[in-house]
Amino acid sequence: MPPESLTYPEYLSTLCSNDFIHAFAGACSGLASGIVTCPLDVIKTKLQAQGGFRVRRIDPISIGQPLQYRGMVGTARTIWQEDGLRGMYRGLGPITMGYIPTWVVYFTVYNRSKEYLSQKIEPEREWVSHLVSSITAGACSTLCTNPIWVIKTRLMSQVSSSNLHDARPPWQYSSTLDAARKMYRNEGILSFYAGLAPALLGLTHVAVQFPLYERFKRYFTGAGLGKRKEGEKLQPLGVIAASCLSKICASSATYPHEVIRTRLQTQQRIVISPEGMTFRSTLKQPLDSGRPPGNSSGCISGTRYRGVINTFKTILREEGWRAFYAGMGTNMIRAVPSSATTLLVYEAIVEFLTKEKEEGERKLML
């Protein structure tokens, strides 16, 4: 029970370490962001992934096949017609499961790294500590959560089983656990780390975003990430402005790697285990769930994309440079409010818990 002089929030806050405060704020911000932006994330994933599902043929008929998804509005209409509201929130489970640990790890490691580096680097070179901290935190969160994001991407890229369009993905999962089970059984453990190389390459994104956010927030509010001026309250407009500007800059500079990562995550791997061969031998049609289209034999054809460089060359050769920016408009509409939601919720919770903790500790000292 808390002492009579303390309110319950003050008492609980005094029991929390600074690391726990940042981790809890990161979890809440990830949950809020996932719920708010899931439909746009689905649309973005559909636009990014569809080129990788089209039938690979060399006859003239296959050239210029119409795309199933075109633009944000057209894609939303297609998803709604095929799967309804459920389709717009396909992958909500893994997206919240992904965002929560991602931001828990990221904000905890980022703040701890920044705190350590601030003692080693002179104040006038503060941007160096922000840069190194963002890359370190991004690497840790990526390694921890990549399997969740692969499952999320696959769930979002699939369509209803009745759809037979050439751009339909070669799997059909009923849930997050079903996806994990089938991926492990049919493709092996490495399938959960598909796209890890471009995901790590994507550390350039946070390396741009968070140093810029620190700079913009300090300009608008006078304090950096998770900080506030003494005696002042959180300035929501300043946080939103800083988060939006930093996210726009980072997304514009690093978007093509997201397309490459999505293509790698949404292709199936070759499996030579007895279970995998048994699974493939039962498939009768090229578009049966579990194997890519374009091969009428009983075996899965070779993987289409092999590594970051090969994927880049393949996309450029088959689809042109515009494919690297497929869904970018939707991504901006999704990523900017997602970033604003994440950072605003994070800053608000950190400020509240920190203030309650300081007040509780002050009362206990009396």
pLDDT tens digits, residue range 163-189?
Answer: 555 555 666 788 888 989 998 998 888
pLDDT band at 300 (very low <50, low <70, confident <90, very high): very low
* Beta carbons within 10 angstroms of residue 127's beta carbon: 13
- Tell me the average pLDDT of the chain: 81
Q: What angle do CA 53, 56, 59 make, to 5 degrees?
A: 140
Domain boundaries, the chain: 8-282+303-365
Tens-place pLDDT, residues 19-37 = 999 999 999 999 999 888 8
Q: What integer is the mean pLDDT of 30-58?
A: 74
Residues of 76-94 as b/e, b for ≥16 C-beta within 10 angstroms? bebbeeebeeebbbbbbbb
Superfamily (CATH) of domain 8-282+303-365: Mitochondrial carrier domain (1.50.40.10)
pLDDT number for residue 157 = 74
Contact 99, 179 (CB under 8 A): no
pLDDT number for residue 4 = 75
Q: 61: exposed, middle or buried (C-beta count within 10 Å: 0-12, 13-18, 19+)? A: exposed
pLDDT band at 1 (very low <50, low <70, confident <90, very high): low
pTM to 2 decimals? 0.72
The percentage of the chain sitting over the pLDDT mark of 70, rounded to a whole number, equals: 81
pLDDT band at 65 (very low <50, low <70, confident <90, very high): low
Phi then psi for residue 267, to 5 deg, are -110, 155
pLDDT number for residue 291 = 40
Residue ranges of alpha helices (H) inside the chain are 8-14, 18-49, 71-88, 92-117, 126-157, 176-187, 196-201, 203-221, 236-265, 274-281, 307-319, 328-365
Q: Helix 203-221 to helix 236-265 angle, to the nearest 10 degrees?
A: 170
